Structure 1
């Protein structure tokens, strides 16, 4: 077992995580995790994966991967350029096209021009037909409208007209009152939760929530992941591996701060009052993350 392997294993045991827990948190096969602890890199498919697995292992147990790479650079493969070179050299040059295909390509511009001319003629025909048909339709509509207006014309001073006008004024007043009342109701409902990023460093991000009288935390997994939820005093609210589709909910209205440790961020969705918390750090790049949620409580006026 190498010094690097000992360092990784000690950190894992300090976290109280088994190899099965670490496999669920990092999505790395257990046999590869064992190989990293024993320094047996030969069974891992490629130097790139060795470095990538060490980085994910370190972040899952709370170690700085960059410091590990610098400290143990003699024991860790430093590149994968040889694999890239092998792949590039294996690419065969493109074969020349057959003569029949070349002739077809030469005729392609002529065919495209002919098709374009046909399309233009068709468009012109459709436009002409639409103009002719539209003119006839407009003339018929205008005649029908004039006949209708002549048949049902009512004098402005007639009792019917005045009654209709009065009814219309009453409807407008009612709509105005309804709109004003609706605006007042919407103003009360617009008191929505606000989530903003306060700070972000390494694999840790702090968010601040405000604007809501009640706070409901929801943690849902779309893939297996190790999750830990603690309050400001360090009391554990949830800890362990959550299976795909599992959900954890907790009312955190009275909490000043909540701390989450996510083993596999791409497989975990965090919501507050039903609003999705958008990861400040891309989960694809930083799979293991520390999330701190601070509750900014607003003072109520007496």
Structure 2
């Protein structure tokens, strides 16, 4: 059984919510939700992840050494210390170029050559008076109207597959919202009393860490509370029906 599943099961067995566990361990709720899903990317590195895992295991009455040992086996062992000299030692020495004074003689010679070439070109071209445009020259034709649909037509066409999700938090709850292609639109804790809205084409996917603490509305239709307090649920909604998939 993975570390996240073990810690989540121990928390449920202790009758403790994520908010209560966060208050006892001083670890943010978003980090606890991620650890219970075996996602340690929010911990800031393996060193801090080991400390969080040990703290949570000790608070829930588990053997912290056994949990940390399992973490080390799954993530390549205890990180080795790095010498400061190895980090700051430069591979190659830096060489500074000598500052040279400008060669004014060469610059003057180039300038005189440019002036001479310009004068010869003026003499060979005649008087240098501008040539009047030929009145018989053809007038450029106006471009033909484009047959492509306008931007307004494209917006109207896309509006039919737009999905609007509104989440109102009655209690603090961790959320992760993404579109049909998996692009993340939000990830974090929605505090109690806050209402947020997300829009995407074709589908909106949401993972809720505290299902009993939120109220959902999809495409203007009230869905209600998707689960119980402390329950982790996954939902997805499309434009054709407000019900979850």
TM interval, shorter chain, is: 0.3 to 0.5
What TM-score, normalized to structure 1? 0.30
Structure with the largest fraction of helix: 1
- Which gives a bigger RCO, structure 1 or 2 (Cα 8 Å, sep 6+)? 1
